[in-house]
Amino acid sequence: MLTSLQQHLHQLADAEKAKIYAKFFKTGKGEYGEGDVFLGIVVPEQRKVAKKYPDLSLSELQQLFSSQIHEYRLTALFILIHQFKKAKDAQKKEFFNFYLHNTKNINNWDLVDSSAPHIVGDYLLGKDKSVLYKLATSTNLWERRIAILSTQAFIRKGKFEDTLRISEILLNDKHDLLHKAVGWMLREIGNRNQEAEEKFLRKHCKSMPRTMLRYAIEKFEEKKKKSYLYF
């Protein structure tokens, strides 16, 4: 079944798109996606492939996660999310631990964003969340992004405390991808409770990175945007 999935993906490969994706996802030397290899397959097609192979074992998924081919890893994540959603509680824990074991392979922003809320975040609803704080202080960029993106699952349930606390931990992060992620999650809070977001912004807008602030206030009316940009 694994070989069949791989062959299916290679049949969909597009060399021109692969070149574009390699540039877009920063795969050059010294860039955050260095070493990533693209086949050039659009995401909707990868989702279709994942649906055809819903029962891959964890050992087969591990082989996909261990590949340099980006589409192997993203398709594996789509399958893992499907399996996680269908699983009973005990098996959800197994999938959660498997995901955390593979953070080194969930190593680009699309991989994190498409999976962290649906596996890590969903699993931790109503549970101890100390693992997120460990991830938030990791030296690994993608583990830090997993920490903040996972909290999107909590935001959807109207729970903002962990997002705000992790945002404070990441306020001084040096990487632009974390500035964008934190700003995005703050905006998600504001979509549900603008006062909760603004309380955070009033405290931190002077010191937070400009990119983070701009993402956070993107949906504010113009006058209010300016009041935070020039606070």
pLDDT in tens, 157-200: 999 999 999 999 999 999 999 999 999 999 999 999 999 999 99
Class of 1-86 per CATH? mainly alpha
Task: Write out pLDDT tens, residues 78-108.
Answer: 999 999 999 998 899 999 999 999 999 999 9
Residues 6+ apart with CB under 8 A from 116: 106, 145, 146, 149, 150, 152
Domains of the chain, by residue range, sit at 1-86, 105-231
Q: Across the strands, what pairs with 93? A: none
Helix (H, G, I), strand (E, B) or coil at 130: helix
The answer to whether the beta carbons of residues 120 and 146 sit under 8 Å apart is yes
Kindly calculate the radius of gyration of the chain based on its CA atoms and give it in whole angstroms.
19
- What's the mean pLDDT in 47-76? 98
**0.85 surpassed by pTM:** yes
Q: Given a cut of 90, is residue 231 above it in pLDDT?
A: no
Among residues 54, 52, 80, which one has the least CA distance to residue 65? Answer: 80
* Tally of helices (H runs) and strands (E runs) in the chain: 16, 0
Give the per-residue pLDDT at 137.
98
Whether 1-86 and 105-231 share one fold: the answer is yes
What are 107's two structure tokens?
Answer: 């190593």
Task: Write out pLDDT tens, residues 192-230.
Answer: 999 999 999 999 999 999 999 999 999 999 999 999 998
Residues 6+ apart with CB under 8 A from 47: 78
- How long, in residues, is the chain? 231
The answer to whether the beta carbons of residues 70 and 38 sit under 8 Å apart is yes
CATH topology of domain 105-231: Leucine-rich Repeat Variant (1.25.10)
What is the DSSP secondary structure assignment for residue 140, as one 8-state letter?
-
Phi/psi-derived region of residue 37, left when phi > 0, alpha when psi is between -120 and 50, beta in every other case: beta
**What is the average pLDDT score of the chain?**
97
Task: Write out pLDDT tens, residues 24-42.
Answer: 999 999 999 999 999 999 9
| Position 201, amino acid | L
